[in-house]
Amino acid sequence: MEMTGVLLAVAVVGGVGLFIGAFLGIASICFKVQVDEKEEAILAALPGNNCGGCGFPGCSGLAAAIAKGEAPVNACPVGGEPVGKAIAAICGVEAEESVRMTAYVQCQGDCDKTTLDYDYHGVHDCRMLSFVPNGGAKSCNYGCLGFGSCVDVCPFDAIHVVNGVAVVDKERCKACGKCVEICPKHLITLIPYDAKYTVACSSKDKGPVVMKDCSVGCIGCQLCKKNCPAEAVTVTDFNATIDYDKCEGCGICAQKCPRKSIVAH
């Protein structure tokens, strides 16, 4: 009697096991996720930083978009041209020409060049400064606050605060854009790595105000614009801008700038 019970239990357990095994086998076939080999190859070619600088949710999102033809093969700012060429080979297309970019902080108003309205003692987070008088202690309301929110989000250790102003190491920068997004003053931009000169000021105040607040701020005098032989400089809202598609890198704009707001890059 006891042996019969044991055999019955073994049979039941064995039967249940066979049923579950068969069910899982059928389910794995019915619900099998088809893997796109091209997508997997693209993902393997990407650097894996998952920085989001491409505009997609991580490298897997970009790989899927490229495989579907919804993103260019050179969309990864971190991998740059080498990765773009590798992905182009995977996709069987010609590699598109790409321009290496780097972040740039449009401000020179460090502790020696700008004035202060008051001494600030509080949270060292640039994003919190919008809640304090005049948006920060510096007299220039457009300048770098110097508390390093951009430093905190940079995954490549490419930006540091030096004497009250954030400075980008363009050799380390991968142009992921995280610092651009985090800056509450919107004074960090992406410019070509090979740019010869750039405007190191984002102020839109009139000349007399700038001259009082900062010794190197752009006053919108338009001397750079008037003397540029390539017509690559424009002045809008009392601030100069360089069109890098037109700029020939002659440096005349920097030479003529009375405030030294245009600097070599």
Residue 107 has pLDDT above 70, yes or no: yes
- Largest CA-CA distance found in the chain, in angstroms, rounded: 109
Q: Say how many CA atoms lie within 13 Å of 45 toward its Cβ.
A: 27
In whole numbers, what is the pLDDT of the chain averaged over residues?
A: 88
Domains and CATH numbers, the chain: 38-91 (1.10.15.40), 100-192 (3.30.70.20), 195-265 (3.30.70.20)
- Residues 232, 242: Cα–Cα separation, whole Å: 6
Does the structure show a pLDDT above 90 at 8?
A: no
Q: What is the mean pLDDT of residues 81-110?
A: 89
- Could you give the residue ranges of the DSSP H alpha helices within 111-264? 149-153, 178-182, 207-213, 223-227, 252-256
Provide the pLDDT confidence category of residue 103 given band limits of 50, 70 and 90.
Answer: very high
Mean pLDDT along residues 146-175: 95
The type of residue at 210 is: V
62-67's contacts with Cβ under 8 Å and 24+ in sequence apart are: 63/39, 64/36, 64/39, 66/39, 66/42, 66/91, 67/36, 67/38, 67/39, 67/42, 67/91
Look up residue 155 and give its two tokens. Answer: 């995954």
pLDDT at 98 (0 to 100): 80
pLDDT tens readout for residues 168-195: 999 999 999 999 999 999 999 999 999 9
Single pTM value for the model: 0.79
Confidence of residue 55 (pLDDT cuts 50, 70, 90): confident
Helix axes 80-91, 58-67, angle to 10 degrees: 40
Q: What is the pLDDT of residue 31?
A: 58
Euclidean distance between CA atoms 263 and 109, whole angstroms: 13
pLDDT confidence band for 5 (50 / 70 / 90):
low
In the chain, which residue ranges form alpha helices assigned H by DSSP?
2-30, 37-45, 58-67, 80-91, 149-153, 178-182, 207-213, 223-227, 252-256
Please give the torsion angle defined by the CA atoms of residues 54, 60, 66 and 72, in that order, rounded to the nearest 10 degrees: 20
Q: Residue 79: which pLDDT band, with cuts at 50, 70 and 90?
A: confident
Buried (b) or exposed (e) across 112-128, using 16+ Cβ within 10 A? ebbeeeeebeeeeebee
- Mean predicted confidence (pLDDT) in 65-70: 88
Given pLDDT bands bounded at 50, 70 and 90, which one contains residue 244?
very high
Query: Poorest-confidence range of 94-98, 137-141, 181-185, 230-234?
Result: 94-98
Reply yes or no on whether the pLDDT at 42 is more than 70: yes
pLDDT tens by residue, 200-231: 999 999 999 999 999 999 999 999 999 999 99
Pairing of strands 188-192, 233-236: unpaired
Q: How confident is the model at residue 156 (pLDDT cuts 50, 70, 90)?
A: very high
Residue 51 makes CB contacts below 8 A (sequence gap 6+) with 78, 155, 174, 176, 178
Mean pLDDT, range 47-70, rounded to an integer: 87
